[in-house]
């Protein structure tokens, strides 16, 4: 039996490669998916593909009003929210000294404030159905020290803390909150837009490749599902072994 039959799922950042992959995977598992993006045209093909079990929500994750409207859209179309995936993200390359204050705030607002607002917005809906699951898409930058990604890394450490706090606060209401920490995924966020080069190399990690978006989607669906029903405040890492450190070069 599909794991999410008739459940209502909101996915932010659904226009991106990972968001699109997750929307397809949740729909394949029986969910009714609310596709969150800044503009409908960004997800028009996805909405057409998913058909009547998908709805669009115009969602700037930094806006409380947009969040309230997105939850209202979900409830009107499909009923109370079962699952929220906080996936929208912004990455700007820059060190602590080189990143501008404006850039730092932009990243924090999207990645951390957006996640905070999403949790606050969906909890009343989840309470109405007596439970739910929130999955925050984090990063290895939220566990290690991502030099050169000062704003992004800081935002993801904040999301890590927020995930644990919310899990502790909401667990007695049968609302689970977990984090998924991907390594470098084959998406535009992995590359420096100015140079086209990878922000972080993968050649010396144990699995020397980028992650496929569907590999990460599979982990997100597990964390959101009843199969992970005893996990809350947990960190699911899929990073190709990056956090283990580089594989030593063999000695001749």
Sign, CA dihedral 73-22-28-230, equals: negative
Active-site annotation holds for 152: yes
- Given a contact cutoff of 8 angstroms between Cβ atoms, the answer to whether 128 and 80 are in contact is yes
- Given a contact cutoff of 8 angstroms between Cβ atoms, the answer to whether 74 and 55 are in contact is yes
Reduced to 3 states (helix: H, G, I; strand: E, B; else coil), residue 36 is strand
How many other CB atoms are there within 10 angstroms of residue 30's CB atom?
14
- Given a contact cutoff of 8 angstroms between Cβ atoms, the answer to whether 10 and 81 are in contact is yes
- Going by DSSP bridges, is the β-strand pair 32-37/54-58 parallel, antiparallel, or unpaired? parallel
Which of the following is catalytic: 152, 191, 230, 242? 152
Q: Exposed/middle/buried for 207, CB within 10 Å: 0-12, 13-18, 19+?
A: middle
Task: For residues 126 and 124, give the distance between their C-alpha atoms in angstroms, rounded to a whole number.
Answer: 5
Q: Exposed/middle/buried for 41, CB within 10 Å: 0-12, 13-18, 19+?
A: exposed
Residue that has been written with the tokens 């283990």 in this structure: 244
Q: How far is CA 100 from CA 91, 92, 95, 196, 217, in A?
A: 13, 10, 9, 21, 33
Which tokens belong to 243?
């956090």
Q: Provide the annotated active-site residues.
A: 152
């Amino acid at each position: 039996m599909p794991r999410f039959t008739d459940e209502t799922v909101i996915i932010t950042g659904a226009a991106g490669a990972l968001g699109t992959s997750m929307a397809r995977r949740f729909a394949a598992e029986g969910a009714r998916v609310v596709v969150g993006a800044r503009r409908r045209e960004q997800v028009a093909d996805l909405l057409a593909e998913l058909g009547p079990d998908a709805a669009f929500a115009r969602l700037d994750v930094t806006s409380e009003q947009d969040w309230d409207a997105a939850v209202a859209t979900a409830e009107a179309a499909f009923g109370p929210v079962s699952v929220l995936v906080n996936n929208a993200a912004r990455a700007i390359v820059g060190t602590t000294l080189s990143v501008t204050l404006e850039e730092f705030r932009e990243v924090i607002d999207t990645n951390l404030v957006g996640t905070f607002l999403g949790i606050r917005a969906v909890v009343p809906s989840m309470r109405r159905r007596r439970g739910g699951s929130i999955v925050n898409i984090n990063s290895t930058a939220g566990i290690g020290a991502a030099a050169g990604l000062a704003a992004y890394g800081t935002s993801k450490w904040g999301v890590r803390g927020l995930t644990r706090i919310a899990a502790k606060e909401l667990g007695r209401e049968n609302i689970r909150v977990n984090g998924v920490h991907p390594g470098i995924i084959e998406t535009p966020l992995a590359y420096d837009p100015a140079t086209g080069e990878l922000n972080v190399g993968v050649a010396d990690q144990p699995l020397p490749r980028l992650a496929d978006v569907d590999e990460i989607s599979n982990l997100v669906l597990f964390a959101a599902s009843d199969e992970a029903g005893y996990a809350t405040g947990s960190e699911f890492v899929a990073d190709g072994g990056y956090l283990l450190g580089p594989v030593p070069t063999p000695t001749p």
